[in-house]
Amino acid sequence: IWESLFHPPRKLGINDIEGQRVLQIAVILRNLSFEEGNVKLLAANRTCLRFLLLSAHSHFISLRQLGLDTLGNIAAELLLDPVDFKTTHLMFHTVTKCLMSRDRFLKMRGMEILGNLCKAEDNGVLICEYVDQDSYREIICHLTLPDVLLVISTLEVLYMLTEMGDVACTKIAKVEKSIDMLVCLVSMDIQMFGPDALAAVKLIEHPSSSHQMLSEIRPQAIEQVQTQTHVASAPVPLYNIGEKKR
Residue 82 lies in a domain: no
Kindly tell me if the per-residue pLDDT of 52 is higher than 70: yes
175/42 Cα distance (integer angstroms): 36
User: What is the 3-state secondary structure of 184-230?
Assistant: HHHCCCHHHHHHHHCCCEEEEECCCCCEEEEECCCCCCCCCCCCCCC
Number of folded domains that form the chain:
1
Q: Which of 181, 100, 86 is nearest to 133 (CA)?
A: 100
Kindly tell me if the per-residue pLDDT of 101 is higher than 80: yes
Q: Output the pLDDT for position 113.
A: 96
Give start and end residues of each alpha helix (H) in 57-206: 61-74, 86-100, 104-117, 124-130, 133-141, 148-162, 166-174, 178-186, 194-197
DSSP 8-state class, residue 146 = S
Residue 83 lies in a domain: no
Task: Provide the pLDDT confidence category of residue 226 given band limits of 50, 70 and 90.
Answer: very low
Of 65 and 246, the structure prediction assigns the larger pLDDT to 65
Residue 151 lies in a domain: no
Residue type at position 191: Q
Q: List pLDDT tens digits, range 63-76.
A: 999 999 999 999 99
Task: Provide the pLDDT confidence category of residue 144 given band limits of 50, 70 and 90.
Answer: confident
Residue 149 lies in a domain: no
Evaluate whether 104 touches 147 at the Cβ level (below 8 Å): yes
128/177 Cα distance (integer angstroms): 21
Evaluate whether 111 touches 139 at the Cβ level (below 8 Å): yes
Task: Provide the pLDDT confidence category of residue 214 given band limits of 50, 70 and 90.
Answer: very low
Please state the rounded mean pLDDT for residues 1-26: 73
**207: CB partners within 8 A, 6+ apart:** none
Q: Output the pLDDT for position 207.
A: 61
Residue 204 lies in a domain: yes
Of 11 and 224, the structure prediction assigns the larger pLDDT to 11
Q: Which of 131, 47, 107, 112 is nearest to 74 (CA)?
A: 112
Q: Which of 215, 129, 127, 109 is nearest to 163 (CA)?
A: 127
Mean model confidence pLDDT for the chain: 80
Kindly tell me if the per-residue pLDDT of 4 is higher than 90: no
Q: List pLDDT tens digits, range 186-213.
A: 887 767 666 666 666 665 555 644 444 4
Of 185 and 13, the structure prediction assigns the larger pLDDT to 185
pTM: 0.75
Residue 233 lies in a domain: yes
**pLDDT over 70, % of the chain:** 72
Residue 232 lies in a domain: yes
Evaluate whether 63 touches 71 at the Cβ level (below 8 Å): no
Evaluate whether 189 touches 215 at the Cβ level (below 8 Å): no
**175: CB partners within 8 A, 6+ apart:** 133, 136, 137, 140
Domain residues for the domain of 244 are 200-246
Residue 47 lies in a domain: no
Q: Output the pLDDT for position 20.
A: 87
